[in-house]
Structure 1
Amino acid sequence: RPYGLLKPTALGKIPGRFQLHQEALPHLPVPPLQQTLDRYLLALQPIISEEELSHTQELVAEFRKPGGVGERLQKGLERRARKMENWLSDWWLKTAYLEYRLPVVVHSSPGVVLPKQDFLDRQGQLRFAAKLIEGILDFKTMID
């Protein structure tokens, strides 16, 4: 017992420093559908064949048609974003951490187990990235 010197309090009622300005922060925006689809196609270019890319571009063109599936889903995301501080966080938590049945550190965020890197130049970054990819592929070979 603190002998009356300290008042008991619920920890949840004391805002941490990181929460002090939470209200002033903007909500997570929903990127425009066009931007999302363009970035998706750009990300696929280096990792799929020309034939697969062509087929995917056709599917994306169908998806982005006015009044189509993409527009309806985009409107749903925008409605969700108006109602929530962060329209993505609960989905991310559930999908990336709670539903995933493999070790989270290795399979979702390897950066937390790697030592801090200080690169002197772009060549060093590329060398490190190549070694990291090689290690990931070796690991994938072991578990497949």
Structure 2
Amino acid sequence: MADYVRALEPITTPSQLERTKGIIRQFSSANGLGPKLHQYLLDKREAEDNWAYNYWLNDMYMDIRIPLPINSNPGMVLPPMRFVTVHDVARFAARIIDGIMQHKELLDSGSLPIERTASREKNQPLCMAQFYRLLGSCRRPGVDRDSQF
């Protein structure tokens, strides 16, 4: 909380800062919500591999009622292409599909290399689960929340 206050100092008025400090004291007190939330997250950390995953999955995908392909799915940016004939378009599409299938083969064989951090905690392995879900699952519609299949 001290870091939070330090971050606020240059961007708040003195009265705003004092009000915020009061809210922080209440939040952080033994009877406040802060210690309870902190303990909840510690418990989740012990019980789950990735405590944030289900929150993210539901918020970004399963609770959304809009089409995912254009609203929240990952996309790809390619350099500008100049197609002269329909055969050029077909050849390009075939290369994209071939690349996706090669990537899927890496996933299915379990030989996708683990990505690692390059900064802060150098060389720590990153969670690769999202790669395996990308081409290996789909969303099944539900009444209140969709599910993953």
Question: What TM-score comes out, normalization by structure 2 length?
Answer: 0.37
Q: RCO (CA 8 Å, sep 6+): is it higher in 1 or 2?
A: 1
